Structure 1
Amino acid sequence: MKAMLPGSAADKPVILGEATEPEPAADELVVAVEAYSVNRGETFQLDGALDRRWPGWRPGKDVAGTVVRAAADGTGPAAGTRVVAHPPAYGWAERVAVPTSSVAELPDSVDAVTAAALPLAGITALRLLRAAGPLAGRRVLLTGASGGVGHYVTELAAASGAEVTVVSATRERGARLLELGATDLLTSVNEATGPYDVVLESVGGDSLPAALARLAPGGLLVWFGQASRTPVTLDFFDFFKGPGQGAIRHFDYTVSDATYGRDLAALVRLVAGGRLHPEIGTVLDWSRTADVITDLRARRIRGNAVLTVG
């Protein structure tokens, strides 16, 4: 079958080539992929900045399509069922094996392109908000907000009753966030006045300490990314001066009591009910995957980037 393979040059991060057919375990089904999403984390893996590769690794964690082979153990959807799935890898291909616990069925009202934008970004957003706790009436600051995760977080947090301030590199990139419920749009965290009960930080570098300084006493900063690729430097004495009893929480979206399938099903219900609106900045044929990766690295894509297969 055809699949996207890791490339060997900066201008060719992936190449379309041949791969072996998936050999599913007993609790895995096989999906014929119709669309997949490219995430920033996968670009980090491809260039070696994120050490989560293994021999034979191929990228691909967000897919939507049709089950062509049901799981041998009888779990999960039957062949012919339309699904969205979150495999550990290998999804940028014509077919992929996925654990049935990482799959959710799709209603006719949710197309494959929309569904493919849900898994990593949507699951991350759901779990971030769980980590943040109840949000009704609370002030939330979200940095790096114009990516896929940021759009989901903004809409879900605003719907929960939070007052959400978002930070985007430009007002143009962040305009959609206001439509999704953000109350304020800033182009620098230094413009934020605060104090904020919850800070969701994904940029790193100078952004995190600046956001931390705007945390309310007893507030929570959840650190869930470092899109700038710049390490963070924190001074203990600056932190000690305030906010009083503020907390910094590490976040790993893979750690949860819920399965990926359960969270995907929740996201699908929200989309089908008109309560969640994936922001898809680019839809192209999968032959353009390398171009999309270049654009993601340069932060030229707002929301999710989706590629269609076949």
Structure 2
Amino acid sequence: MIRAITVDPLAPLHLAFKEVDAPQAQPWEALVQVKAVSLNRGEVKDAKEQEASSRPGWDFAGIVIEPAKTGAGPQKGARVVGLLPLGAWSEQVAAPVSMLAEIPDELTFAEAATLPVAGLTALYALRKGGMLLGKRIFITGSTGGVGLFAHQLAAQSGAFVVGTASTEDKAKLVREVGADEVVVGYSEISSASKFGPYDLIIDSVGGATLAALLPQLAPQGICVAVGFSSSNTATIDMMNLVTSGGRTLYSFFLGEELTRHAAADDLSLLARLVAKGRLTPRIEVQAPWTEIDTVAQSLLERKFSGKAVLHIG
């Protein structure tokens, strides 16, 4: 038996510890002793909608204790980072080797655990813009996990990058990670037009923000909608969108993207960038996983920027 965090409708945040059966790996899966996990707002919110005893958790990092029987992927003793659709908040996991990458010795487990959901989302969203050298990019949610990674990766591409922040203090952080300009306050989102038009917009806010950004796309520009933190509905000026022609609104869902990308290779790329000092995970909170309730509540209330990591064992 092992311990895992499961859904309990009677718990304050619907999260509780429970003894569960140790995972049994399929031939294409490796068994991993989990050392750290990172939290994403989506999985914490989803826990309240899941059935009792469901197993939340996406991002994890740890050590392979039993390699895949096919012989593929990381071998026993390898330090790895990985991604699961469910169940990562556990002492041990069985993970497909296609979602598992070895990490350099220079990386801590905490740093590695921040990479799967936030890092891959940022990487794949930026790739929608094609060759970014000399292009203009606008990123909302700049101080979140995805936003901070997206800014750092975009800055290295040679693009002109504009970010967002709710306060002047947070704007300093956005500039530190590579933004050329920062729009302060989402009520001022229309003022972003003075730095545009944009070849690529990455939006995690939705609602009125998304509606205000679409007219700021350049001809043949693309807006990648990766979330809807403010509202899941938006009123779009269809006449402007249609008569402008050539602009694209792309609906981004990481689970679907992973069916068309080599996640293991891309996780390895992100890990190497961190090891070389070209990408820096911003970890605002680190705590034992026994403090899941406190950290998850702070995450939902947006009390910190960047990522939260829980250590297991």
Runs of 4+ displaced beyond 6 Å = none
Q: Is the 8 A contact 1:63 1:116 kept in 2?
A: yes
Residue from 67, 70, 75 that aligns with 2:72? 75
State the number of aligned residues.
Answer: 305
- Aligned: 1:302 with 2:305: yes
Match of 2:191 in 1: 191
- The one-letter code sitting in structure 1 at the alignment partner of 2:34 is V
CA distance in 1, matches of 2:52, 2:262: 26
Q: Which amino acid aligns with 1:28?
A: E
Q: What CA distance in whole angstroms lies between the structure 1 residues aligned with 2:268 and 2:216?
A: 35
RMSD: 1.8
- Alpha-carbon offset, residue 130 of structure 1: 1.1
Letter aligned with residue 287 of structure 1: T
The aligned counterpart of 1:223 is: 225
Q: Kindly indicate whether residue 281 of structure 2 is the aligned counterpart of residue 278 of structure 1.
A: yes
Q: Secondary structure at the match of 2:14?
A: strand
Partner AA of 2:230 in structure 1: S
TM-score, normalised relative to structure 2: 0.92
Q: Partner of 2:34 in structure 1?
A: 33
| SS of aligned partner of 2:174 | helix
Instruction: Report the Cα distance in structure 1 between the residues aligned to 2:171 and 2:83, rounded to whole angstroms.
Output: 27
Aligned runs of 1:178-217 on 2, under 5 Å? Answer: 178-187=175-184, 188=186, 189-193=189-193, 194-217=196-219
Q: What one-letter code is carried by the residue in structure 2 that aligns with 1:186?
A: V
Counterpart-to-counterpart distance in 1, 2:152 and 2:57: 26
Superposed displacement of residue 248, structure 1: 1.1
Does residue 84 (structure 1) correspond to residue 86 (structure 2)? The answer is no
Is residue 261 from structure 1 mapped to residue 264 from structure 2 by the alignment? yes
Q: Contact 1:13–1:293 at 8 Å: present in 2 too? A: no
> How many Å separate the matches in 2 of 1:171 and 1:96?
42
Gaps of 5+ in 2: none
Does the aligned pair in 1 maintain the 2:164–2:174 contact within 8 Å? no
Q: Tell me, in whole angstroms, the C-alpha distance in 1 between the residues paired with 2:114 and 2:180.
A: 24
CA contact (8 A) 1:105 1:265 kept: yes
User: Do 1:38 and 1:293's aligned partners in 2 also have CA atoms closer than 8 Å?
Assistant: yes
Instruction: Report if the CA contact (8 A) 2:35-2:62 is conserved.
Output: yes
Does the 8 Å contact 1:171/1:186 carry over to 2?
no
Q: How has the CA–CA distance of structure 1 residues 238 and 268 changed in structure 2, closer, same or farther, with 3 Å as cutoff?
A: same
The answer to whether residue 233 in structure 2 is matched with residue 236 in structure 1 is: no
- Counterpart CA distance in 2 for 1:218 and 1:29 is 43
> Are 1:155 and 2:152 counterparts?
yes
In structure 1, C-alpha distance between the alignment counterparts of 2:232 and 2:74, rounded to whole Å: 43
Cα distance, 1:295 vs structure 2: 1.5
Aligned: 1:109 with 2:110: no
Contact 1:205 1:229 in 2 (8 A): yes
Query: Cα 1:229–1:289, aligned 2, differ >3 Å: closer, same or farther?
Result: farther
Partner-residue secondary structure (3-state), 1:165: strand
Q: CA separation in 1, counterparts of 2:294 and 2:309?
A: 12
**Aligned equivalents of 1:306, 1:116: Cα separation in 2:** 7
- Counterpart of 2:279 in 1: which secondary structure? coil
Query: Equivalences for 1:32-181 in 2 at 5 Å?
Result: 32-48=33-49, 57-181=54-178
Relative to 1, partners in 2 of residues 1:191 and 1:291: Cα closer, same or farther, differing over 3 Å? farther
Q: Is the CA contact (8 Å cut-off) linking 1:154 and 1:182 kept in structure 2?
A: yes
1:288 matched residue in structure 2: 291
Query: How far apart are residue 205 of structure 1 and its match?
Result: 1.2
Equivalent position SS for 2:9: strand
Q: Percent identity?
A: 38
User: Unmatched 5+ residue regions in structure 1?
Assistant: none
Preserved contact between residue 6 and residue 52 of structure 2 (Cα < 8 Å): no
Name the SS of the counterpart of 2:77 in structure 1. Answer: coil
